[in-house]
A and B are shown apart, each in its own frame.
Chain A
Amino acid sequence: MIRTLLEHLQLIFEKTVFVYGVTLLIIYACLALFSFYSVRRFLRKESYTDYKVIVGSELAPGVSVIAPAFNEGLTIISNVRSLLTFDYPKYEVIIINDGSTDDTLEKVIKEFSLVKIDFAFDIKIVSKPIRGIYKSTDDAYAKLVIVDKENGKSKADATNAGINIASFPYFLCTDVDCILHEQTLQKLIRPIMEEENARVIATGATLRMANSCEIDKGVIIKVKAPRPLLARFQELEYIRSFVLGKMGWSQINCVPNVSGGLGMFDKEIAIKAGGYDPASFGEDMELLMRMNRYVHDNKIKAAVRYIPVTLCWTEGPTSLKVFMRQRTRWGRGLFQLMVTHRKMLFNPRYGRVGMIMFPYNFLFELMAPFVESVGIIYYILLAVFGLANWPYAIILLIFVYSFAIMISTLAVLWDQLTFQYYKTWTDVARIAVMVFVEMILYHPLIVVFALRGYFFHIFNRKHSWGNMQRRGFKPSSAASTTAAT
């Protein structure tokens, strides 16, 4: 009697997991198709678009570039300089010195002949107090604003301060240590300006690892695939997450996250949604979720769009320790977000966000690490008790493995279709090799670190990583968890 019951349970469990897995794979296959379509559409458009028109136009909307900096004394000058060289006619650069304890502020003041000025602004989003606002006496740097504020221990708090003093209707959120392409503003503003039936509230583009690129004073000289193994895995993950994942979601207007490393936002909506939440561990995704919520509550037809070109290069963590902190933080952020906004789950009031995007993230991003670990433990138990059907188990394993390889390979292909960032064959090969070992070497790490994040959140371990929480954003809170198979 008990034996048959157990057998039944086993069967139900196995079937559920199988259905879960197949559904996930089908979703990925659909994403691959959607993204292929939207990448192709983008490429067609690029073939006849002349971006010089917007550079020369007086109708170009203004954009405020907001970049928080914390103890960046070593590189701050060249990074600020590089932010001042966008090909765009109307923008300002707001650098937020987030209570640095080094000479970041002094260096900038000296280099750009800054003076402290009386600056009136409205506190629309609460942030830690601002100590002073600086502008340059040299007209050549008229676009530059430096905000000196007390340390708020989070990127969210610093960015909020920047949003308060931003004077243009759109803002670009980035990190001071990200290297942005000179065409970033013109390329990201375009989807906003050519959407016919909706208000585009946020746009984003691909991020990549800057680790092995040749960089000179904040300018990329040559793109190279990263050499360090960990960074190489991340590069592959980012390509998949952006070019395949987000481009796919963008096609059906279900983009879950515009990454904190690079994203352009509609300021009005961002402010009305309440700005970034300093208490969040995944503030970028959380803000977008609230913006989505706001537009639905107010019946504004809105869209979030992604473009497949790489506009931002960021240094990915190369030490396992830093990497673990980053991913634990992301895991925690996701868990926190799902709990905070749980009312949106399968809530038709929120349209696609409530019916597709949120459920997907809940079932296949949040739950995946659980399901995977339970599955593995289950197989181990079967093996220990000698109950495993080895041929079938192996077939299932090959099934998952081959599918994962296919998805990653397609991502690499889509990326090669958009723009060939790697100049040499060996660079492509470097990434292609990762496709085959990722499942074994990299993926388990992601799963474990995500679970660690959930665990910390459930038991509310606040100070477990002390100051490093602050540093958390430094190695880029970039690719979301999306498509981290």
Chain B
Amino acid sequence: MWKDLADLLFQAYEQYSLLPLFIEIALAFIFLAILSTLIAYGAILHKRYRAYVYEKRMAFISPKIEDMITEQVLLNPNLGYDIPLESIEFDPNALGDKIYRKPFVRQMLIDTLIQYRKNFRGEVGELLRKLYIDMGLDKDSFAKMKTLRWERKIKAVVELTQMDIPISDVTILPLTNSGIPALRAAARNAYIQLSKNEPFKFFDIATEPLLPWDQLEMFKIITTTKDIAIPNFSRWVSYSTNKSIVSFCLKLIAHYDQQSTIPAVMELLSNKDHYFRADAINCLGKLSAEVAEDKLVKIYNNQPLNCQIEILKALGRIASGKHLEFLKSEFLYSSNFDIRMNAARSIIRHNTQNSRLMVEELMEMTHEENQLIIKHCLNPLIKY
């Protein structure tokens, strides 16, 4: 019987090899296409079935998890009486349920706990963390860190960071320079949050850019983590060669209003990259750096448009009143609309006797379009 089959195949092949080339190609493609289509349908079936099973399980387990967390944490009778957390015990029966031994359920537990942590800090937040540790879920996360698949590693790092579990420097530091951007970002965030002595160490060594998306998370961690030692960021502004780190530091300087960094930030005004200069000018404005005003006005004429606009904005933020005349002349004589708009905004922003008089005066002496600009800037309904 096998021989028959082999014969048949052989004959088929002989027939096939006699066909013209393009028909051979076509036949090969047909075979491939049919095969892939079948596989694709198989995959769709499989995927939908798995999703179905997953949903079923979720529908059964997630209320269970939520109820347990509600009982043990949110409605914990010991909450609200200043009882030290260490002495609060969970109900071993509730935690010991067999279902919480399944890996799938444990992952769901971790995810749910993190969701709660995003909504609650303070006592409830701490108790959620305690639950995470008491159920040994930190071990699950650590185990995930040892896998080779980087997306699982990232997940582990994120989990540990969310739960505020210290990771040893030996483990986390190498990851902060990983070649995979996302892993690097997660590791850096973890390091900042969890390292107690020198959270900003990697700023010194980072050669890879700190992407704007990653800055979001890092900014949040820096500004919300308790007892983090905020250094003087001028260190990196002056010495770092990594532009994205410097511009990130500028944002932090503005956020923490680090007045002592003003000289270092002013150094950047002579940097070649104009996007960079614009960031520095913006930062000076937010710091209300009066000492920088004269310099800003002095360099104004040699700047590209984006820097000029930033200078005008900064003058409005600093608002010492010394350069109102400068703003006025820019408003009256510039041919560029955006410059006039920002000059007007900055004059109004001064909000002093002088500036108000100036606005009135300008309203009378200038042409219609400029009047419209002033009205626009004075209108409280226009916010952006």
Direct A–B contact in the complex, CB atoms closer than 8 angstroms: yes
Q: Tell me which residues from 367 to 384 in chain B have a Cβ below 8 Å from any Cβ of chain A.
A: 369, 372-373, 375-377, 379, 381-384
| Residues of chain B whose beta carbon lies under 8 Å from any beta carbon of chain A | 20, 22-23, 25-27, 29-30, 32-34, 36-37, 40-41, 43-44, 47-48, 51, 118, 151, 154-155, 158, 181-182, 186, 209, 211-217, 219-220, 251, 337-338, 341, 369, 372-373, 375-377, 379, 381-384
Q: Which of A57, A115, A135, A416 contacts B48 (CB 8 A)?
A: A416
C-alpha gap A117/B154 in the complex (Å): 50
Q: Which residues of A contact B48 (CB under 8 A)?
A: 416, 420, 425, 428
| Structural contact, B220 and A57, CB atoms closer than 8 A | yes
B228 to chain A, nearest CB (A): 17
Q: Are B216 and A57 closer than 8 Å at their CB atoms?
A: yes
| A470 contacts chain B at the CB level, 8 A cutoff | no
Bound-state CA distance A58–B216 (Å) is 8
The 8 A-B residue pairs whose C-beta atoms are closest, nearest first, are A122-B337, A193-B213, A120-B376, A402-B33, A399-B26, A118-B375, A194-B213, A406-B33
Which residues of the partner chain B approach A136 to less than 8 Å between Cβ atoms? Answer: 381
Instruction: Name 7 A/B residue pairs within 8 A (Cβ), A-sorted.
Output: A45-B182, A57-B219, A57-B220, A59-B212, A118-B375, A402-B33, A412-B40
Taking the complex as formed, is A367 at the interface, i.e. its CB lies under 8 A from any CB of chain B?
A: no
Within 8 A of B (CB), among A59-104: 59-62, 92
Interface check A398, CB cutoff 8 A: yes
Contact present for A117 and B29 (CB under 8 Å)? no
- For A56, the chain B residues whose CB sits under 8 A away are 220
B259 to chain A minimum Cβ distance, whole angstroms, is: 20
Cα distance A62–B219 in the bound complex, in angstroms: 17
Whether A406 touches B212, Cβ cut-off 8 Å, given contacts A25-B29, A136-B381, A416-B44, is: no
Task: Evaluate contact between A119 and B44: CB separation under 8 angstroms.
Answer: no
A390 to nearest B CB, angstroms? Answer: 13
Q: Which of A22, A48, A405, A420 has a CB less than 8 Å from the CB of B158?
A: A48
Residue in B41, B338, B376 whose CB lies within 8 Å of A119: B376
User: What A residues does B43 contact at CB under 8 A?
Assistant: 413
Given contacts A59-B215, A194-B213, A399-B26, 6 further A-B contacts (CB under 8 A): A50-B158, A53-B220, A54-B213, A398-B30, A413-B40, A416-B48
When each residue 451-483 of chain A gets 1 if its CB lies under 8 Å from chain B and 0 otherwise, what string results? 000000000000000000000000000000000
The residue from A60, A118, A195, A403 contacting B216, defined by CB atoms under 8 A apart: A60
Which of B26, B181, B186 sits near A196, CB closer than 8 Å? B181
Decide: A428 and B44 in contact? CB cutoff 8 A: yes
What is the distance, in angstroms, from B102's C-beta to the closest C-beta of chain A?
A: 20
Are A18 and B376 in contact, with the CB atoms below 8 A?
no
Contact of A417 among B36, B47, B341 (CB under 8 A): B47
Q: A168 interface residue, CB < 8 Å from B?
A: yes
**A48, B182: Cβ atoms under 8 Å?**
yes
Q: Is A342 an interface residue (CB 8 A)?
A: no
8 Å CB contact of B382 from A45, A117, A405: A117
Q: Which residue of B40, B151, B214, B376 is within 8 Å of A47 (Cβ)?
A: B151
Q: Residue among A45, A413, A425, A432 with the most chain B CB within 10 A?
A: A413
Q: Which of A48, A61, A402 is close to B30, meaning CB atoms less than 8 Å apart?
A: A402
The number of A-B residue pairs with CB atoms under 8 Å apart is 137
Taking a contact as CB atoms under 8 Å apart, the answer to whether B23 and A395 are in contact is yes
In the complex, what's the smallest C-beta–C-beta distance from B299 to chain A, in angstroms?
23
| Residues on A with beta carbons closer than 8 Å to the beta carbon of B220 | 53, 56-57
Asked whether, in the complex, the Cβ of B118 is within 8 Å of the Cβ of A52, the reply is yes
Residue A409 lies at the interface, judged by CB distance under 8 Å to chain B: yes
A410 near B36: Cβ-Cβ < 8 Å: yes
Chain A, interface size: which category?
35 or more
| Contact of B219 (CB < 8 Å), options: A52, A59, A416 | A59
**Cα distance A142–B341 in the bound complex, in angstroms:** 20
Chain B contacts for A117, CB-based, 8 A? 379, 381-382
Could you mark each residue 284-317 of chain A with 1 if its beta carbon is under 8 Å from any beta carbon of chain B, else 0? 0000000000000000000000000000000000
Question: Which chain A residues lie closer than 8 Å to B341 at the CB level?
Answer: 120, 122
Q: For the complex, is A183 an interface residue (Cβ under 8 Å from B)?
A: no
* Inter-chain contacts of A406 with B (CB < 8 A): 32-34, 36-37, 40
Give the residue name and chain of the A residue nearest to B51 (CB): A420
Distance, CA A399 to CA B30, complexed state (A): 5
Chain B positions within 8 Å of A15 at CB level: 22
Q: A48-B154, A396-B26, A402-B30 are in contact. Are A120 and B216 (CB under 8 A)?
A: no
* Listed residue (B40, B118, B341) with the most chain A CB atoms within 10 angstroms of its CB: B40
Give chain B residues whose Cβ lies under 8 Å from the Cβ of A44. 151
**Does A385 count as interface, using CB distance less than 8 angstroms?**
no
Residues of chain B lying within 8 A (CB to CB) of residue A425: 48
Min Cβ gap B104→A in Å is: 15
CA separation between A409 and B47, bound complex, in Å?
14
- Please report which residues of chain A, range 375-414, place their CB below 8 angstroms from some CB of chain B when the two chains form the complex: 392, 395-396, 398-399, 402-403, 405-406, 409-410, 412-413
A432 and B337 alpha carbons, distance in the complex (Å): 55
Say whether A196 contacts B22, CB under 8 Å: no
CA separation between A371 and B376, bound complex, in Å? 57
Separation of A53 and B43 alpha carbons in the complex (Å): 34
A412 to B36, CA, bound (A): 13
Question: Does A190 touch B at the CB level, under 8 Å?
Answer: yes
Chain A residues positioned under 8 Å from B32 (CB to CB): 406
- A10 at interface, CB cutoff 8 A: no
- Please tell me if A318 contacts chain B, counting CB pairs below 8 Å: no
Flag whether A373 is at the interface (Cβ < 8 A). Answer: no
Residues of A within 8 A of B209 (CB): 196
* CB <8 Å contact, B338 and A122: yes
Name the distance in Å between A121's Cβ and chain B's nearest Cβ.
8
Please name all residues of chain B whose beta carbon is closer than 8 Å to the beta carbon of A253 when the two chains form the complex. Answer: none
In the complex, whether A212 has a CB less than 8 A from a CB of chain B is no
Proximity bits, A100-143, B CB within 8 Å = 1, else 0: 00000000000000010111101000000000000111000010
A167: CB under 8 A from chain B?
yes
With A45-B182, A392-B23 given, is the CB distance from A135 to B382 under 8 Å? yes
A48-B186, A57-B220 known; A194 vs B373 contact (CB < 8 Å): no
Return the contact of B40 from the options A58, A92, A410 (Cβ within 8 A).
A410
Q: How far is the CA of A452 from the CA of B185 in the complex (A)?
A: 52
Contact B27 A413 (CB under 8 A): no
- Which B residues are in CB contact (< 8 Å) with A410? 36, 40
Also in contact, A53 and B216, with CB within 8 A (given A44-B151, A399-B26, A425-B48): yes
The 8 Å CB contact of A402, one of B37, B376, B383, is B37
Does B382 lie within 8 Å of A119, measured CB to CB?
yes
